[in-house]
Structure 1
């Protein structure tokens, strides 16, 4: 995790909270740091995918010939404590889709 990025994110969450603005992020750990929603991909899987792309390119394949890949799993994390602080109701379909709910 990038410490500078983390500090910047915490400032964003703090400032947004002052104005009752929800924060949604894809940064790992964002929901634990105050985002109402976070969509996270396993960093190891991202690294594996990047390595596979690099190997194909090094083997002579043009990047434009490599199809776009999507991660096998994306975690949706909902922070209900933040939702309550912001006086927001998280819709049931979002809660149902969540892989983790922070209370």
Structure 2
């Protein structure tokens, strides 16, 4: 990060990034980088599908299976709700002011 003169970090939405989210958060803080990653890992912002909504969609899929359609006939679904979480503790640590327009759109603000 230092050699590349990184100014921010965005963690990909993958199982690998998820399993290393604590280390990614530590690195972002250590290098004082604003980051987009899971809020529980200490990211400045998190913009990801709402897990509860996804589980609700899964329940609908499970309900369809005994009714006859083959799994290959079921359409691929995308998340229906995306949450924006802003971590003001991290913003303060980094000396960043989050614009009021972002705070107004946030689904959750961690203070």
TM over 0.5: yes
Distance 1:21 1:50, change over 3 A: same
Partner of residue 22, structure 1 = 34
| Residue segments in structure 2 that go unaligned for 5+ positions in a row | 1-14
Partner of residue 3, structure 2 = none
Greater RCO, 1 or 2 (C-alpha within 8 Å, sep 6+) = 1
Per the TM alignment, residue 41 of structure 1 is displaced from its structure 2 partner at its CA by 3.5
Deviations 1:14-65 (A, max 9, x none): 112122212212xxxx324311111343433212323444637x604635xx
Q: What is the aligned length? A: 91
TM-score normalized with structure 1 length: 0.66
Partner of residue 22, structure 2 = 10
Secondary structure in 2 matching 1:88: coil
- Find the partner of 1:62 among 39, 54, 73: 73
TM-score normalized with structure 2 length: 0.62
| Residue segments in structure 1 that go unaligned for 5+ positions in a row | none
Alpha-carbon distance between aligned partners in 1 of 2:39 and 2:90, rounded to the nearest angstrom: 9
Partner of residue 6, structure 2 = none
**Contact (CA 8 Å) 1:81, 1:102: kept in 2 or not?**
yes
Secondary structure in 2 matching 1:59: coil
